[in-house]
Structure 1
Amino acid sequence: MTFSKRWAFLLLTALTAFSYARAENAQTQEIDPNGPWMICSIDADGLKNIRKKTITKTGHAKKGELYERFTVSDDIRDISALGAFDSVEIDISPVSGTRKAKDGAEVYPCHRLTYIVKEKPIFDRLTYDGRKHLGKGAITQAMTLKLKDPFNEAKLQADLDRIKAKYAEKGYVNTQITYELTTDEKLGVVYVKLIINEGERVRVKDVTINGGGELPTEKILKKASNRPGKVFKPQNLQRDWVKMMLFGRNKGYSEFNLSEPQVQLNDDKTEANISYDLTEGEKVDFGTVSFEGNNVFTPEELKKQVFFREGHLYNQKDFDDTITAIQEQYADKGYLQARVNPVKHIENGKLNLTFDIAEGRIFYIDNVDVTGYENTKKYVFTRELSIHPGDLYDNAKIKRSQTKIMNLGFINDVQVDLQPTADPQKVDLGFNVVEGRPGMFTAGLAMSSMDGLYGELSINHMNLFGRAQRLSLRTMFGKEILDYTVSWSTPWIYDKPTSLGVDLFNTRRYRSFADENQAYTEKRIGGRVKVGPRFNDDIYQLSFGYSFENIDIYDIDQRFVCTPDKKTGECIEKGKTNLSTISADFAVDTRDNMWDPTQGWRNSLGLALAGGPIGGDLDLWYLNARSIFNYTVLNVGGNYPIVFVLSNKFGSVQAYGRTTEVPPYEKFFLGGADTIRGYERAGEIGPEYGGDMYYVMNAELRFPIAREGRRNMAQFAFFFDLGNSWNKFSDLDFSLGPNKNQFKAGVGVGLRFTTPSLPIRIDWGYGLNHKNNEDRSHFYFNISNMM
């Protein structure tokens, strides 16, 4: 060995010994059992299928921060709660090095924290033995234990009952299910085989009602799904019982009563016999109404909540609605536990009622909280609340708070939770929100009679930055259409219930005139700003706006180009015009949801002034009045409302000052998807060259198809439209017919789809008052709300 190699060897030996000594010193360093410990590294041991990040995000340990002793048990509890581990331990050991605390100058020795876990195997495969009459999708949908979840045998056992319930819905009430498990320790997975003995399908052989009266047994049984010859569905027995009870009581039999159903299966368990005992009672009319125990309200005030009238046939729904209305009247004054006990007395075929009221005590609100949100700032919800800590309990204010939160547009549901407190006169109030999808990117093709085939790209967000701000970027493009629109709005300004909105647009459209749908091209470039203060829990609303538009008219059909021999208003002037407009609107809105209302009104009146002191090239003034009424005709199952919607609209535009005639692009041409369906916008309704005023009535009956929480995602609708446009009031003809001044009517059906800030309507309309040689029906595809 040479001299240089000998020195290199000695140096390497020395370094190795020094490193070993440091490591040994770190390992023998004592650890303070009481903490806190400075965490310099974090590890996880025992992971196979679960990511390390899942554990470190759940635990409270952070690099460079002190870790307290009491946090150990919290972390073990929280990580165990993930449901992915059979056991969780935490090891803290010293390592070399020191680090300063973030909030001070003191230096602490470093420690390594290790999460030591034993994973549960992953539920990786599901197979079946004996499955014939129930689809795989129905089984997996019924199960709470999903593929790729950590395996939980208790969940699987509970899921067997859910699968049996699915079989029972198809009549297989005797299904038996067991299971076999196969575990692969190396891969950390478990395979499940369901062994299913479906049994025979059970049908209803006979249904007996003992003790019948005046009501025909056959009519009573028609209300039940479990009827002779039908597949036996035990899950429907309770619903059948309720329907038959309501049928009898809504026919005037206030004491109509059926016993709980008795079911007997034959020896082969293939046939079911169902029996009820009936007490029909006397058929009665509503009689007198009186009240006892009422001190808060007078009898006259309480009678306003009575839904029925003396002499009318007894009806269970009106009876129940009366009790509910009285209780809600008390709840609005803080009497949360008011109870209404109806005392019945039948005399001479009349049911006289005395409502014995136990008013209870007044309740106050102790604390108010909002929970369930994930992507939204909490203040977005709390600022919408109409009720606050210390307030008298008020059922109406609570409902209004729900409405205002739903009106944010990206909420699927709001549930109210009441909890008792240590003070017997106070309750804690909670609002649990369910957030929907706040935004969406859409792309697609559509066609309309006006705009032909066109494409659309849009990005919409209704909860920008979690602050309930709305942003919309939208473009529509085609041979006849080219639109670019950017919109932004916020519902509050400086913690005040005042909205602010800004729109920028660049649009190009073919426009109607006389009998031509594409008489000229209109291009508008401009923007608008709106400010809208709201009062009295958003019921009263003001809106002030300013807009500026540059309107370019070109590509005019030769028949309509202005020449010296043509009258003003019967031709179209080519060129550019600036339109400067201010507007003011006032509205009263009592709807339960502005996006998907099921009840309530919205009445509005608007005025706008263009030109004059506002500038621009046109002097015009506008009047718009609108009323929308929503009413739930029937609520199927409590969450599928069938809603009747009635809309009335009136508008007028008039020239003044420098402008002698309203230009064609500001006149009203009715027909098409947004006014009276079943007609074209060109030449089929109103004056040939457009009207200066109009009236439109739209009535729709909407049936829910799909719902998410308290929102309709898809609806089917029947509609009836009525209206016309005129040049002056003296032109009005209040009859129906094909003449230009007569009202036109249309009927049809349609589909409604709701997406975030992008409602879609597909309608087929049939006109009832066409002239000869006009197409009587039209299809419409539209991306907007009509009412």
Structure 2
Amino acid sequence: MNNLANNILLKTYINSLLFALIFIFSNILIAQETKFNNGKSYVIEDITVTGNTSFSSQTVITYSGLKKGQTVVIPGEKVSNAIKKLWNSNLFSSIDIYLTKAEDGKAFLEINLIDLPELNNVTIEGIKKSKKEILIKENKLDKGAKVTENLITTTRNYLTNKYKKEGYLNSKVTVNTSEVTNDSIEKSRVNMLVYIDKGEKVKIDKIVFNGNEKLSDKKLRKAMKNTKQKNPIRILKRSKYIRNDFKEDLVSIIDKYKENGYRDARIISDTIIKKDDKTITLNINLEEGEQYKFGKITFVGNSVYTDQQLHSVLRIKEGATYNGVELRKRIADDSKPDAVDLTNMYQDTGYLFSTINPVEVSADGNVIDMEIRISEGKPAYFNNVTVKGNDKTNDHVIYRELRTKPGQLYRKSNVIRTVRELGQLGFFDAQQITPDFKNFNPNEGTVDMEYSVVERGASQIELQGGYGGGGFIGTLGLSFNNFSIKDIFKKEAYKPIPSGDGQKLALRLQASRFFQTYSFSFSEPWLGGKRPVQLSTSLSHTKQFLYDPVSRNADKDRRFNITGISVGLAKRLSVPDDYFTLSQSVSFQHYDLKNYNTGLFTFGNGYSNNLSYTVGLSRSNTYTDPIYPTGGSSFSISAKMSFPYSLFNNVDYKALKEERESLDPRDTDDFTRIGEIDQERYNWLEFYKVKFKGDWYTKIVENLIIKSGVEFGFLGAYNNDRGIIPFERFFIGGDGLGNYSLDGREVIQLRGYPNQSLSSQDGGTIYNKFSLELRYPITLGAQAKIYALGFLEGGASFDNFRDYNPFDISRSAGLGIRIFMPAFGLLGIDFGHGFDALPGQTMKNGWETHFIIGQQF
């Protein structure tokens, strides 16, 4: 009985509702003076357009689809369609079609319209000025846009959700419009005011887990890398709630379970509980499931590699705790392009078209038997290899660096190496080098490869003036790192300089009252164009004058000149691997002194010649970007040596040494004789010099990099009676720049101390340095690369090997920033704190500011 009554009531309600809808719809079609006759056919005699609209009558009538002479049924489908079309234009706020007159089967229609208002100005309050233009663009709030209710609602919802995703759960957005008054334009226009109240970011008071028995709350919270609960001692990660980060961390929780064998673990629900306006609690309900172990793992479909070879890469034994995350990585580790996994194993031997899928075939007793099903496919060979984007650099400069050639077997490692080599050239933005696969053909076993590069400025100009070294210093430096010497006499090649052949040409002039320096260098990286043998040449001349305390100017009669020339060859090796380079060079320097008596040079009038041979072995496999390496290492060891003249020149250096030790430098005649003896000892420099430097780059997370380094140098003598030469010595401390000392010294950077302050007046003959630097990029764009750094370092120099103690070092720490712009090179500033006292002092050195020009380390 009750069901029957309910059905009667329901039918009555539906019939009433239908009657009401029919009544409302009928009234919409009633004209102001004449009612529509139901379903009567008319021929349109005339159509007029009225209302508040800026569109012409002809435009409106044409767009509506109605036209004079057309037969229509009123009310009917054609009139309804006209109304729909006009609404769909999103141009009007009101649309009515009236039958104003009907006689003799002819209809006179009126289309009454009111235009939507257009947007005049948008004012956004509550956020930084720099963010406003971005929000206007994202919400399409351009001047002239039609202001609909949908636009207002969409804008408000978009901004509210945007800030909630960023952790502002209490954000409020209001959108108000006001009509533009006293407007000479006839169109209806409105101004929009958007007020954003982000509030404070909501912090997470607690993260509560329910249902976890196998893994502790602490382990699960640790698995959440981005979402942390409040902890007063945490510095690097703050406890702000960001929705996207939280969703990623929920996946990380499940991955943590999979790493521990709980493959069926799942999150049943996650809930946000609002504690107050500033804090929330996250409740995460879990279902852990049972722990599984690996059973038998068999390979199916493999013919290229044996089961034993595949097991040696998979490295998962029967009986081990099931780890779904690690299994996925051992098959294909997407986070490391050169990872040791099964996919790379196949792809590095040409099997680009291979597929590897793990399949669970049994899970009895919580023991999972796996089949690794492999479809090897055909080996892939490169068909066409092309490069695009090199507007300046000539093709042959790029193609000689490619490790992927047409007809060559595909190897993934060769693709990765090619990207690195192109980045190391320095002619392209290393962040935008992209290898693109084209025209896969598994049936033929071929693939095309296209490398996309973006040119960056390879030339640098240094034009500056400043005060230092006792006076004004002017510098003009030009460095062309992608030069083409063969086009130097071609007028059309100057755009603005001949470029594209990968050669390097540098000119530098620097002058002040107290010194002048001129240098020229040129290098060809592929001598002859067929092999990676680099030819380097350089020519330099420097002058330095002593300070005259009377005139407070440079004393041009007391000067020290150095003229030098060097020629070198560097060859890329193939053994032990082709990251090694063997370099050799011969150099000659002529030192000319006139009345240049200092503590270092006891012969103020005279000369020295330095003819030396340098051999070095280096290895560098740093990743892609030479400005900001993200991995790999580089090291170099070199030996510089002169000819052992004392074995053949029949000079009794022991007697000279004994005579020198018997003389008193305070006596004028003895001092003159000491200078003569030193001139004899150093007319041709005799020495050997060994140096080592190593740097390692380790990625911590994303682009956060640790660079660790060690350096060592030793200057020795073949003949102890002849002694260690006064040139080529090590001066440690400061920014690592020459500080305008042009006497052949080698300056070693150690921040936190004044320049060259940690060595004796004559310089050290042995030094070591240790450094640790944490780097994080602010931007790695093509126009500028900027990164911040923090450093710890220590080092010291010693006058002889007997005093050498590698642990007796001066320590420092600090912060800095580096800016690299292609046109100006690397610039930076460091603030270093020296924890130890300078030689001869008792108080720690404290803070020093260092300005860095060029790559110092």
TM-score (ref. length: structure 2)? 0.59
Please name the residue that 2:850 is paired with.
780
Deviations 1:469-515 (A, max 9, x none): 3333334455665433333333223322222333333335699xxxx
Asked if 1:401 is matched to 2:402, the reply is: no
Distance in structure 2 (CA, Å) of the matches to 1:486 and 1:535: 28
Which of 681, 686, 700 lines up with 1:620 in the alignment? 686
Contact 1:541 1:587 in 2 (8 A): yes
**Secondary structure at 1:410 match in 2:** coil
Contact 1:770 1:776 in 2 (8 A): yes
Contact 1:719 1:749 in 2 (8 A): no
Deviations 1:132-172 (A, max 9, x none): 1344433435788999x99999xxx9x98998886566548
**Secondary structure at 2:125 match in 1:** coil
Asked if 1:483 is matched to 2:485, the reply is: no
Aligned-pair identity in percent equals 20
Q: CA RMSD in A?
A: 5.3
Distance in structure 2 (CA, Å) of the matches to 1:176 and 1:601: 55
Compared CA separation, residues 722 and 430, structure 1 to 2 (3 A): same
Distance in structure 1 (CA, Å) of the matches to 2:367 and 2:514: 68
Please name the residue that 1:532 is paired with.
570
**Secondary structure at 2:776 match in 1:** strand
Contact 2:268 2:286 in 1 (8 A): no
Which of 831, 834, 837 lines up with 1:766 in the alignment? 834
**Secondary structure at 2:730 match in 1:** coil
Which of 480, 501, 504 lines up with 2:536 in the alignment? 501
The 5 Å alignment of 1:44-123 reads none
State the shift of 1:408 in Å.
0.9
Compared CA separation, residues 201 and 472, structure 1 to 2 (3 A): same
**Secondary structure at 1:472 match in 2:** strand
Compared CA separation, residues 580 and 382, structure 1 to 2 (3 A): same
Which of 268, 271, 287 lines up with 1:279 in the alignment? 287
Which of 725, 731, 738 lines up with 1:663 in the alignment? 725
The 5 Å alignment of 1:529-568 reads 529-536=567-574, 539-553=579-593, 556=596, 562=602
The 5 Å alignment of 1:549-588 reads 549-553=589-593, 556=596, 562=602, 573-588=604-619
Which of 429, 446, 459 lines up with 2:449 in the alignment? 429
Distance in structure 1 (CA, Å) of the matches to 2:202 and 2:434: 39
> Match of 2:299, as an amino acid?
E
Contact 1:642 1:702 in 2 (8 A): yes
Distance in structure 2 (CA, Å) of the matches to 1:661 and 1:474: 34
Contact 1:454 1:481 in 2 (8 A): no
**Secondary structure at 2:437 match in 1:** strand
Instruction: Using the TM superposition, name which of 315-324 and 467-476 deviates more.
Output: 315-324
**Secondary structure at 1:400 match in 2:** helix
Please name the residue that 2:807 is paired with.
736
Asked if 1:713 is matched to 2:715, the reply is: no
Distance in structure 2 (CA, Å) of the matches to 1:179 and 1:530: 74
Distance in structure 2 (CA, Å) of the matches to 1:310 and 1:632: 33
Contact 1:652 1:694 in 2 (8 A): no
Distance in structure 2 (CA, Å) of the matches to 1:719 and 1:240: 33
Deviations 1:316-374 (A, max 9, x none): 87665533221222211112244444568999999989672515222222211112333
> Match of 2:621, as an amino acid?
T
State the shift of 1:273 in Å.
9.7
Contact 1:202 1:271 in 2 (8 A): no
Contact 2:272 2:282 in 1 (8 A): yes
Contact 2:688 2:718 in 1 (8 A): no
Compared CA separation, residues 780 and 212, structure 1 to 2 (3 A): same
Please name the residue that 1:132 is paired with.
125
Contact 2:297 2:318 in 1 (8 A): no
> Match of 1:780, as an amino acid?
H
State the shift of 1:596 in Å.
3.4
Distance in structure 2 (CA, Å) of the matches to 1:502 and 1:771: 39
Compared CA separation, residues 310 and 707, structure 1 to 2 (3 A): farther
Compared CA separation, residues 581 and 770, structure 1 to 2 (3 A): same
Deviations 1:368-401 (A, max 9, x none): 1112333322332222101111111101111111
Please name the residue that 2:526 is paired with.
492
Contact 1:458 1:475 in 2 (8 A): yes
Please name the residue that 2:658 is paired with.
none
Distance in structure 2 (CA, Å) of the matches to 1:204 and 1:404: 47
Distance in structure 1 (CA, Å) of the matches to 2:349 and 2:278: 56
Distance in structure 2 (CA, Å) of the matches to 1:495 and 1:600: 28
**Secondary structure at 2:638 match in 1:** strand
Please name the residue that 1:216 is paired with.
217
Which of 403, 421, 438 lines up with 1:386 in the alignment? 403
Compared CA separation, residues 618 and 192, structure 1 to 2 (3 A): farther
**Secondary structure at 2:130 match in 1:** helix
**Secondary structure at 1:421 match in 2:** strand
Distance in structure 1 (CA, Å) of the matches to 2:717 and 2:317: 50
> Match of 2:775, as an amino acid?
R
> Match of 1:280, as an amino acid?
E
Instruction: Using the TM superposition, name which of 600-609 and 137-146 deviates more.
Output: 137-146
> Match of 1:652, as an amino acid?
L
The 5 Å alignment of 1:17-28 reads none
Unaligned runs of 5+ residues in structure 1 are 1-125, 183-190, 512-517, 563-571, 738-742
Please name the residue that 2:64 is paired with.
none
Question: By percentage of residues, which structure has more strand?
Answer: 1
> Match of 1:603, as an amino acid?
F
Please name the residue that 1:356 is paired with.
372
Distance in structure 2 (CA, Å) of the matches to 1:652 and 1:309: 54
**Secondary structure at 1:736 match in 2:** coil
Compared CA separation, residues 656 and 772, structure 1 to 2 (3 A): closer
> Match of 1:292, as an amino acid?
F
Contact 1:611 1:617 in 2 (8 A): no
**Secondary structure at 1:499 match in 2:** strand
Unaligned runs of 5+ residues in structure 2 are 1-118, 181-188, 231-237, 334-339, 484-498, 547-553, 650-681, 737-747
Distance in structure 1 (CA, Å) of the matches to 2:396 and 2:176: 50
Contact 1:736 1:744 in 2 (8 A): no
The 5 Å alignment of 1:571-610 reads 573-593=604-624, 594-610=626-642
Compared CA separation, residues 150 and 380, structure 1 to 2 (3 A): farther
Please name the residue that 1:474 is paired with.
508
TM-score (ref. length: structure 1)? 0.63
**Secondary structure at 1:381 match in 2:** helix
